[in-house]
């Protein structure tokens, strides 16, 4: 019997810090929540842990792992609270960071704003050196001049230094020399060099990523060591892991070295939970749909695996406008976020049509029905007026909703000015936000080569289950899945995330002429580096390596990722590689062009340790449980099929039991959320307490 059998997931969000405690012996799950403490986030961590001790006495000493996700890094970028950062670049290129890619993201808006670079121009310096695109040296680094450059930056008071030289992904020697000089001139200062952060072609993207890493590195390091010390002081003797944006977890040391990789660590947990459910229930295509107060985040999970994309943006100056943020190029779970939530505000557009979102009333003042001063009708107001929410059972009845004011708000603000009936207006708000989400979902699913007509939608978040049925109808999706405690469901991801680390190197070379042993060397080098990182976390376990190639037709603008078998690359034939490429290309774009040559751009590996499985607790029907007993009553709610209010049966989710099933129209209430099922939906409950809703084909 192991003496450490607890695992704790802890997610620090903007408002709340959430906790999920798992007892691996019993499968029992306990949850907790407390207010985030921005001044020292570890205060909230300790407070939450103390609160959990009430139900699980002395669990801290029995904790095997604590897995942590945080929005600290992303917030410090958005609020510009990072370190004073200096940048060293190749002579002639100090402005790469500011010039960017030069595209205007809003072609007709001449006043569109752009984000300011994290390193102001005065802190951007140059060294005289040059490497060619094939890695050969044109001009060797002048080490004396480099030393002076470093000193000058230090004299200006920089706290962190980023180094990004042209073509360094092909030959990092100059960057490594600079690293040595910096460490000598200023022992202990925070340094980030592009070859370590992201050895990938395209200088702007690489510089931006390296600079962002440097910008948040000092504060992330301080925070993580403080957290580790705090945990130790309360008796924690287990391992501390940090969630990566790519969906793996890593050690504190690695997270502190590459904080740019944990930027999206919070929202990623929901996706990882989705992956787990996808595998557990063997769902070929699952659309994870997490709708909260201000945004909806979603992600397509195919065969239990979420997509990982190589790039994303942080701190968009125009909310949700692609191109208006800082580019970060590290692997991140392919999460689509749009401005659609319960707090999205409805109004009449300039052209006299209805508009819902992306502006949100947030939690404060919130929708009109919250009675906290909100005056603009919101999606939650419409959901209440449609009968989907119960004014007396919101958040389990802890909050009463003001239906009358909401009614007036929609009547005056929407129905009258648009000249439509009250019903048209409320249904319109609900339906339009679903349309917005469906449009984004379709593009997202299509981009991943998925098919909306076969996806199972997994609904999370406060508003997810309220809108999942409508979204499914718009996508033509046949099935919904709603995990128990949808709010906690996402934090389960902490327990199922693999310990994994992704590395890559750019090297552009055609398939026809490449030397396979050279490729094998690149892969081995990457695997050795990743192995070092993982061995810090567990020495005795088997590390698994996965290899893939980013490939494209020669001259094509973008690449596709092509997995290749692990193990000796030189054993492969050119024809094998070509076949792998054609298969992936065909799947994505319908056809391929065998006569056109292909080339390699990036070499990627993922090193991972075996997943620790999670046993979902099983339930069985208890004595006296019956459907009748689970029915709270009936209430009229809107049916888009009948185009009118019809009676919906209201169920108490906590009284439902395995193997129970029933037909819609139904409303299933739990504390944090409400599930809506139309009359064409059939609900069944499995042994794990998950709700499955099958929809008739449209």
Partner 1 sequence: MPRAFDPITLEILWRRLISIVDEADSSVARTAFSSLLRDAHDYTCMFTDRLGRELAQGSFATPGQSGAMALGIKNLIKKFPLDHYQPGDVFITNDPWALAGHLNDVCVMSPIYYKEQLVAFTACVFHHSDIGGRVASDNHDVFEEGLFIPVVKLYHRGVLNESVMDMIRWNVRTPDEVIGDIRSQIAANHVCAEKVRQMLKESNLDTLDDLADQVIGLTEKGMREEIEKIPDGVYDARGIIEQVKGKGDIVIQAKVEIRGSDIIVDLDGSSGQVDWGGNVVFNFTYAYVFMAVKSMFAPDIPNNDGCARPIQLSAPEGTVVNCKFPAAVAARMGVGHFLTEVIYRALSNVLPNRVIAGSGGTPAAMNVFYGRRKDGKPWHSVIIRGGGMGAGANNDGNYVYIFPANGANTPVEIFESDTPLIVEKRELLVDSCGLGTMKGGLGKREIFKVPDDQYAPIPPVNLGIQAGRYVYPAEGLFEGKPGSKAQFLVNGIPGNSYGLTQLIPGDVVTIDAPGGGGYGNPLEREPEMVASDVIEGYVSLESARNDYGVVVNPVTGEIDREETKRLRQLRIKNEKVLNS
202 binds partner 1 (CB under 8 A): yes
What one-character DSSP code corresponds to residue 612? Answer: P
Query: What is the rounded end-to-end Cα distance, in angstroms, of the chain?
Result: 53
Joined together, the tokens standing for residue 179 give 């690293």
Distance CA 616, CA 688 (A): 7
581 in contact with partner 1 (CB under 8 A): no
Q: Which CB atom, from 216 or from 601, has the smaller least distance to partner 1?
A: 601
- Among 394, 340, 404, 418, smallest CA distance to 368 is for 404
- Which of 201, 363, 511, 514 touches partner 1 by CB under 8 A? 201
Complex with partner 1: residue 334 or 537, whichever CB lies closer = 334
54 binds partner 1 (CB under 8 A): no
Bridge partners (DSSP) listed for residue 309: 332
Interface positions, 606-625, toward partner 1 (CB under 8 A): none
Map the footprint of partner 1 across residues 489-508, applying CB under 8 A: 508
Site for partner 1 in 111-170 (CB under 8 A): 111-114, 120-122, 130, 132-133, 138, 166-167
Q: Which is nearer to partner 1, 131 or 273 (CB)?
A: 131
Q: How many angstroms separate the CA atoms of 345 and 362, rounded? A: 9
Q: What are the two backbone dihedrals, phi and then psi, of residue 358, each rounded to the nearest 5 degrees?
A: -80, -5
Select the residue interacting with partner 1 from 3, 79, 102, 628 (CB under 8 A): 102
Burial class (CB in 10 A: 0-12, 13-18, 19+), 261: buried
The binder of partner 1 chosen from 109, 183, 518, 583 (CB under 8 A)? 109
**H or E element that contains 338:** strand 336-338
583 binds partner 1 (CB under 8 A): no
**Candidate segments 399-407, 412-420, 658-666, 686-694, binder of partner 1 by CB under 8 A:** 412-420
Q: Does residue number 454 form part of the binding site for partner 1 (CB under 8 A)?
A: no
- Binding mask 426-445 vs partner 1 (x if CB under 8 A, - otherwise)? --x--xx--xx--xx-xx--
**And the tokens for 71?**
């929005």
Please, which of residues 346-385 interact with partner 1 by CB under 8 A? 349-355
Q: Kindly identify the residues of this chain, within the stretch 557-576, that bind partner 1 according to CB under 8 A.
A: 557-558
Nearest one of 451, 198, 440, 229 to 327, comparing CA atoms: 198
Q: How many residues bind partner 1 (CB under 8 A)?
A: 72
Note whether 510 binds partner 1 by CB under 8 A.
no
- 63 or 96, CB closer to partner 1? 96
- Do 240 and 197 form a contact (C-beta atoms < 8 A)? no
CB of 336 vs partner 1, minimal distance in Å: 12
Query: Given candidates 93, 422, 545, 619, which one binds partner 1 under the rule CB under 8 A?
Result: 93
| Region from 39-47, 361-369, 556-564, 635-643 binding partner 1, contact rule CB under 8 A | 556-564
Helix/strand/coil (H, E, C) string of 381-409? HHHHHCCCCCCCCEHHHCECCCHHHHHHH
Take residue 244 and report the two structure tokens written for it: 């990566």
220 near partner 1, judged by CB under 8 A? no
Burial of 612 (0-12, 13-18, 19+ CB in 10 A): middle
Asked whether the beta carbons of 326 and 315 are under 8 A apart, the reply is yes
Sole window of 23-31, 89-97, 488-496, 620-628 interacting with partner 1 (rule: CB under 8 A): 89-97
CB 210, CB 232: distance < 8 Å: no
**Which one of 35, 51, 61, 99 is in contact with partner 1 (CB under 8 A)?**
99
Stretch touching partner 1 by CB under 8 A, among 26-34, 287-295, 306-314, 550-558: 550-558
Residue 327 near partner 1 by CB under 8 A: no
Question: Which residues have C-beta within 8 Å of that of residue 196, sequence separation ≥ 6?
Answer: 257, 258
């Amino acid at each position: 019997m192991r003496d450490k059998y607890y695992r704790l997931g802890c997610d620090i969000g903007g408002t709340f810090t959430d906790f999920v405690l798992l007892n691996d012996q019993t499968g029992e799950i306990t949850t907790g929540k407390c207010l985030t403490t921005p001044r020292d986030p570890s205060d909230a961590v300790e407070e939450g842990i103390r609160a959990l001790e009430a139900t699980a006495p002395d669990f801290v000493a029995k904790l095997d792992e604590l897995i942590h996700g945080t929005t600290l890094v992303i917030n410090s970028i958005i609020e510009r609270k990072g370190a004073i950062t200096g940048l060293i670049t190749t002579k002639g290129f100090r402005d790469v960071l500011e010039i960017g890619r030069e595209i205007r993201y809003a072609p007709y808006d001449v006043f569109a704003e752009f984000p300011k670079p994290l390193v102001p121009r005065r802190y951007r310096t140059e060294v005289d050196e040059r490497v060619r695109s094939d890695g050969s040296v044109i001009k060797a680094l002048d080490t004396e001049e480099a030393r002076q450059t470093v000193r000058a930056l230090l004299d200006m008071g920089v706290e962190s230094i980023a180094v990004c030289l042209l073509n360094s992904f092909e030959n990092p020697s100059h960057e490594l020399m600079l690293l040595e000089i910096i460490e000598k001139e200023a022992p202990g200062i925070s340094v980030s060099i592009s070859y370590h952060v992201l050895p990938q072609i395209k200088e702007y993207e690489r510089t931006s990523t390296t600079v962002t890493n440097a910008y948040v590195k000092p504060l992330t390091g301080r925070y993580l060591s403080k957290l580790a010390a705090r945990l130790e002081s309360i008796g924690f003797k287990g391992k501390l892991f940090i969630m990566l944006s790519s969906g793996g977890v890593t050690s504190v040391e690695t997270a502190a070295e590459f904080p740019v990789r944990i930027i999206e660590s919070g929202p990623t947990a929901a996706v990882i939970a989705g992956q787990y459910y996808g595998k557990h229930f063997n769902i070929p295509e699952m659309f994870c749909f997490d709708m909260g107060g201000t945004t909806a985040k979603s992600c397509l999970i195919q065969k239990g695996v979420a997509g990982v994309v190589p790039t994303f943006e942080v701190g968009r100056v125009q909310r949700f406008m692609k191109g208006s943020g800082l580019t970060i190029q590290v692997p991140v779970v392919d999460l689509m976020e749009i401005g659609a939530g319960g707090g999205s505000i409805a109004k009449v557009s300039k052209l006299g049509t209805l508009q819902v979102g992306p502006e949100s009333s947030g939690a404060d003042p919130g929708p009109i029905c919250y009675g906290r001063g909100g005056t603009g009708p919101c999606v939650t107001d419409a959901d209440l007026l449609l009968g989907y929410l119960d004014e007396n059972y919101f958040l389990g009845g802890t909050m009463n909703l003001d239906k009358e004011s909401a009614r007036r708000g929609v009547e005056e603000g929407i129905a009258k000015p648009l000249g439509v009936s009250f019903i048209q207006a409320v249904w319109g708000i609900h339906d339009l936000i679903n349309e917005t989400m469906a449009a984004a979902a379709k593009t997202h699913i299509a981009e991943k080569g998925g098919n909306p007509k076969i996806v199972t939608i997994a609904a999370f978040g406060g508003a997810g289950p309220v809108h999942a049925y409508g979204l499914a109808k718009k996508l033509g999706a046949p099935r919904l899945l709603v995990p128990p405690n949808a709010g906690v469901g996402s934090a389960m991801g902490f327990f199922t995330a693999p310990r994994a680390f992704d590395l890559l190197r750019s090297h552009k070379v055609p398939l026809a002429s490449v030397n396979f042993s050279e490729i094998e060397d690149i892969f081995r080098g990457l695997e050795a580096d990743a192995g070092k990182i993982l061995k810090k976390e567990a020495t005795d376990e088997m590390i698994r390596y996965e290899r893939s190639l980013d490939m494209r037709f020669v001259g094509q603008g973008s690449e596709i990722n092509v997995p290749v078998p692990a193990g000796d690359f030189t054993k492969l034939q050119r024809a094998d590689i070509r076949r792998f490429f054609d298969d992936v290309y065909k799947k994505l774009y319908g056809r391929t062009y065998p006569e056109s040559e292909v080339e390699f751009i990036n070499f990627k590996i993922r090193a991972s340790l075996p997943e620790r499985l999670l046993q979902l607790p099983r339930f069985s029907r208890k004595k006296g449980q019956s459907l009748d007993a689970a029915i709270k009553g009936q209430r009229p709610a809107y049916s888009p099929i009948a185009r009118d209010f019809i009676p919906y049966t209201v169920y108490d989710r906590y009284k439902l039991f395995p193997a129970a099933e029933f037909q819609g129209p139904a409303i299933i209430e739990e504390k944090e959320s409400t599930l809506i099922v139309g009359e064409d939906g059939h609900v069944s409950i499995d042994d794990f307490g998950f709700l499955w809703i099958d929809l008739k084909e449209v």
